[in-house]
Amino acid sequence: MAAHNELGKWGEDCAADYLQRKGYTIVERDWKSGHRDIDIIAADKDGTIVFIEVKTRRNRLFGDPEEAVDHQKLQSLQSAMNHYIKYRRINGDVRLDIITVVGTIGAEPEIDHIKDVL
Protein backbone atom coordinates (compact mmCIF):
# COMPACT_ATOMS: atom_id res chain seq x y z
CA MET A 1 0.00 0.00 0.00
CA ALA A 2 1.27 3.48 -0.86
CA ALA A 3 2.48 5.60 2.07
CA HIS A 4 -0.32 8.19 1.66
CA ASN A 5 -2.93 5.39 1.66
CA GLU A 6 -1.42 3.94 4.85
CA LEU A 7 -1.53 7.37 6.48
CA GLY A 8 -5.15 7.83 5.44
CA LYS A 9 -6.14 4.40 6.81
CA TRP A 10 -4.32 5.20 10.06
CA GLY A 11 -6.17 8.52 10.28
CA GLU A 12 -9.54 6.83 9.78
CA ASP A 13 -8.66 4.25 12.46
CA CYS A 14 -7.70 7.07 14.86
CA ALA A 15 -10.96 8.89 14.09
CA ALA A 16 -13.03 5.74 14.68
CA ASP A 17 -11.26 5.10 18.00
CA TYR A 18 -11.82 8.73 19.01
CA LEU A 19 -15.53 8.50 18.20
CA GLN A 20 -15.96 5.28 20.17
CA ARG A 21 -14.24 6.84 23.19
CA LYS A 22 -16.74 9.74 22.92
CA GLY A 23 -19.70 7.32 23.02
CA TYR A 24 -20.49 7.05 19.32
CA THR A 25 -21.37 3.71 17.73
CA ILE A 26 -19.66 3.02 14.41
CA VAL A 27 -22.32 1.93 11.91
CA GLU A 28 -20.29 1.74 8.69
CA ARG A 29 -16.82 2.52 7.40
CA ASP A 30 -15.83 3.37 3.82
CA TRP A 31 -19.40 3.25 2.55
CA LYS A 32 -19.51 3.64 -1.23
CA SER A 33 -22.13 5.29 -3.41
CA GLY A 34 -20.83 4.93 -6.96
CA HIS A 35 -17.56 6.86 -7.09
CA ARG A 36 -18.40 8.74 -3.88
CA ASP A 37 -17.63 7.47 -0.40
CA ILE A 38 -18.28 8.30 3.21
CA ASP A 39 -15.36 7.55 5.53
CA ILE A 40 -17.34 6.81 8.70
CA ILE A 41 -21.03 6.64 9.51
CA ALA A 42 -21.76 6.62 13.23
CA ALA A 43 -24.64 7.03 15.66
CA ASP A 44 -24.28 9.71 18.33
CA LYS A 45 -25.46 9.06 21.89
CA ASP A 46 -28.78 10.77 21.09
CA GLY A 47 -29.37 8.56 18.02
CA THR A 48 -28.35 11.15 15.41
CA ILE A 49 -26.73 9.53 12.37
CA VAL A 50 -23.42 11.28 11.80
CA PHE A 51 -21.60 11.18 8.48
CA ILE A 52 -17.90 11.82 9.02
CA GLU A 53 -15.29 12.95 6.53
CA VAL A 54 -11.79 12.24 7.83
CA LYS A 55 -8.84 14.33 6.64
CA THR A 56 -5.37 13.17 7.66
CA ARG A 57 -2.11 15.07 7.25
CA ARG A 58 1.42 14.57 8.55
CA ASN A 59 1.65 18.25 9.50
CA ARG A 60 0.07 21.65 8.87
CA LEU A 61 2.81 23.05 6.61
CA PHE A 62 0.42 23.40 3.69
CA GLY A 63 -2.64 24.46 5.70
CA ASP A 64 -5.23 22.88 7.93
CA PRO A 65 -6.61 19.51 6.79
CA GLU A 66 -10.23 20.71 6.85
CA GLU A 67 -9.36 23.22 4.10
CA ALA A 68 -9.37 20.25 1.69
CA VAL A 69 -13.14 19.93 2.17
CA ASP A 70 -14.17 22.47 -0.45
CA HIS A 71 -17.58 23.22 -1.97
CA GLN A 72 -17.25 20.42 -4.54
CA LYS A 73 -16.35 17.87 -1.84
CA LEU A 74 -19.29 19.02 0.29
CA GLN A 75 -21.66 18.54 -2.66
CA SER A 76 -20.25 15.05 -3.25
CA LEU A 77 -20.66 14.17 0.43
CA GLN A 78 -24.21 15.52 0.48
CA SER A 79 -25.10 13.38 -2.54
CA ALA A 80 -23.65 10.25 -0.90
CA MET A 81 -25.45 11.09 2.36
CA ASN A 82 -28.78 11.45 0.54
CA HIS A 83 -28.24 8.08 -1.13
CA TYR A 84 -27.43 6.44 2.21
CA ILE A 85 -30.48 8.04 3.90
CA LYS A 86 -32.78 6.69 1.16
CA TYR A 87 -31.02 3.30 0.98
CA ARG A 88 -31.25 2.72 4.76
CA ARG A 89 -34.60 4.54 5.10
CA ILE A 90 -33.34 6.89 7.80
CA ASN A 91 -36.06 9.09 9.27
CA GLY A 92 -34.20 10.63 12.22
CA ASP A 93 -31.71 13.45 12.61
CA VAL A 94 -28.52 13.45 10.55
CA ARG A 95 -25.48 15.68 10.34
CA LEU A 96 -22.09 15.94 8.64
CA ASP A 97 -18.91 16.26 10.71
CA ILE A 98 -15.26 16.55 9.75
CA ILE A 99 -12.54 14.95 11.83
CA THR A 100 -8.96 16.03 11.16
CA VAL A 101 -6.02 13.91 12.20
CA VAL A 102 -2.52 15.42 12.15
CA GLY A 103 0.52 13.30 12.92
CA THR A 104 2.43 10.24 11.86
CA ILE A 105 1.85 6.54 12.28
CA GLY A 106 3.09 5.40 15.67
CA ALA A 107 2.82 8.83 17.28
CA GLU A 108 -0.04 10.33 19.27
CA PRO A 109 -2.23 12.21 16.74
CA GLU A 110 -3.75 15.66 17.09
CA ILE A 111 -7.49 15.19 16.50
CA ASP A 112 -10.03 17.96 15.87
CA HIS A 113 -13.77 17.26 15.57
CA ILE A 114 -15.76 19.85 13.63
CA LYS A 115 -19.48 19.21 14.07
CA ASP A 116 -22.39 20.00 11.78
CA VAL A 117 -20.55 21.50 8.81
CA LEU A 118 -23.57 21.74 6.48
Please state, as a whole number, how many other Cβ atoms lie within 10 Å of the Cβ of residue 29: 17
Rounded CA-CA distance 42/34 in Å is 20
Distance CA 43, CA 33 (A): 19
Give the other-Cβ count within 10 Å of 84's Cβ.
Answer: 20
pLDDT digits (tens, 9 = 90+) for 73-108: 999 999 999 999 999 999 999 999 999 999 998 889
Output the pLDDT for position 106.
Answer: 86
Q: What are phi and psi of 68, to 5 degrees?
A: -75, -10
What's the pTM?
A: 0.93
pLDDT for 7-53, tens place per residue?
Answer: 889 999 999 999 999 999 999 999 998 889 999 999 999 999 999 99
